[in-house]
């Protein structure tokens, strides 16, 4: 299970234009670099979302429990859990309503889930962690066994990696897997000036550049790739028509790169790019449309003080 690196790399680098899916960023080194990004002064997303949880965690949990208590405890599921440090704020609020809580983090990185479980064992020992090391698609069928109300968390604007069609499909599948008593807590970054967005994805310290290039380093490490990282440049672009930041790796010159384990040689023209990530920036109508199309009721929406980020709490539509 988890991800088929060889297949994804072969497919992406033989496509035109070239792409690599963002899920490939998150090996151990990439997960570490992403955590470093969340501390950068330019990367406001994590701090903005955290401030929403600090202010509204209790109300969010009450809404997820549905006011009229069924007496059954809430289970918390998280897609792309990562280090789950913001989730701790939510789980602490759950434990103010019930004595224990089952937490189901889903992540392609086993190390990330183990790290989260270790920290929760210390900080919130009443939480029972039942992690699933898998992609979202692989994990969803396992969620059907959850009893009682469930709160699914898809935070950090991770949904922005998906185009609307894939995002709608994932939300619909999630709604289906969790059934009628489910709530969804969805974090989305909001549209704003490209003068704020570009530095958030091209920071002065170069951490995001290292994060982006790590996907090439990973191919070198795991697939016998011969990428010279110095011959690729990190690019962050604002795509206004699709309301998204795009990250690319741009070849500095004409070059051919062998990937030994794939028996593949990839040719690059000078200036050609590998599209490595899209990060969609939303307005509220856009999110409402996605939620409605996938079977959720109109959400309650919470903002940080700067209105840079939004957290939406939606219930399964009847």
Per CB under 6 A, residues contacting ligand AVJ are 37, 45, 156-158, 160-161, 201, 208, 277, 279
Nearer to ligand AVJ, 75 or 278 (CB): 278
Cα gap 32→148, rounded to integer Å = 35
Q: How far is the CB of 203 from ligand AVJ (least distance, A)?
A: 9
The two structure tokens encoding residue 215: 């996907």
Nearer to ligand AVJ, 83 or 208 (CB): 208
Q: How far is the CB of 277 from ligand AVJ (least distance, A)?
A: 5
Nearer to ligand AVJ, 217 or 258 (CB): 217
Category of 307 on φ-ψ map: left (φ > 0), alpha (ψ -120 to 50) or beta: left
Q: How far is the CB of 37 from ligand AVJ (least distance, A)?
A: 5
Q: What's the sign of the alpha-carbon dihedral 80, 83, 88, 94?
A: positive
**Which contiguous run of DSSP H or E holds residue 268?**
strand 264-268
Q: How far is the CB of 107 from ligand AVJ (least distance, A)?
A: 12
Q: How far is the CB of 41 from ligand AVJ (least distance, A)?
A: 14
Nearer to ligand AVJ, 163 or 253 (CB): 163
HSE, side-chain direction, 13 A CA sphere, residue 189: 25
Collapsing DSSP states into helix, strand and coil, what is residue 250? strand
Nearer to ligand AVJ, 48 or 143 (CB): 48
Cβ-proximal residue to ligand AVJ, closest one:
279
Beta strand extents in 96-156 (DSSP E only): 101-107, 127-129, 132-133, 150-154
């Amino acid at each position: 299970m988890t991800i088929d690196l060889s297949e994804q790399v072969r497919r992406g680098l033989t496509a035109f234009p070239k792409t690599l899916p963002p899920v490939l960023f998150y090996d151990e080194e990439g997960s570490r670099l992403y955590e470093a990004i969340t501390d950068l002064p330019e990367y406001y997303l994590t701090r903005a979302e955290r401030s929403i949880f600090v202010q509204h965690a209790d109300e969010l949990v009450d809404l997820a429990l549905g006011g009229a208590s069924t007496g059954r405890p809430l289970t918390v599921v998280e897609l792309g859990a990562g280090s789950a440090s913001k989730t701790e704020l939510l789980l602490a609020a759950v434990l103010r309503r019930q004595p224990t809580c089952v937490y189901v983090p889903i992540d392609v990185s086993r190390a990330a889930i183990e790290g989260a479980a270790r920290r929760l064992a210390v900080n919130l020992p009443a939480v029972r962690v039942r992690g699933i090391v898998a992609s979202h698609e692989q994990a969803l069928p396992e969620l059907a066994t959850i009893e009682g109300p469930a709160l699914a968390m898809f935070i950090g604007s991770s949904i922005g990696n998906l185009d609307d069609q894939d995002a709608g499909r994932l939300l619909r599948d999630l709604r289906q897997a969790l059934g009628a008593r489910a709530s969804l807590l969805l974090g989305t970054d909001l549209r704003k000036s490209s003068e704020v967005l570009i530095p958030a994805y091209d920071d002065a310290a170069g951490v995001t550049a290292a994060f982006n290039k790590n996907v090439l380093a990973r191919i070198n490490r795991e697939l016998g790739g011969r990428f010279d990282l110095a011959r690729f440049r990190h690019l962050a672009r604002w795509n206004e028509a699709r309301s998204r930041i795009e990250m690319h790796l741009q070849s500095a010159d004409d070059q051919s790169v062998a990937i030994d384990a794939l028996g593949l040689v990839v040719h690059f023209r000078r200036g050609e790019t590998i599209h490595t990530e899209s990060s969609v920036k939303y307005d509220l109508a856009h999110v409402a449309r996605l939620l409605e199309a996938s079977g959720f009721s109109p959400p309650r929406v919470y903002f940080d003080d700067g209105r840079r980020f939004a957290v939406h709490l939606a219930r399964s539509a009847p």
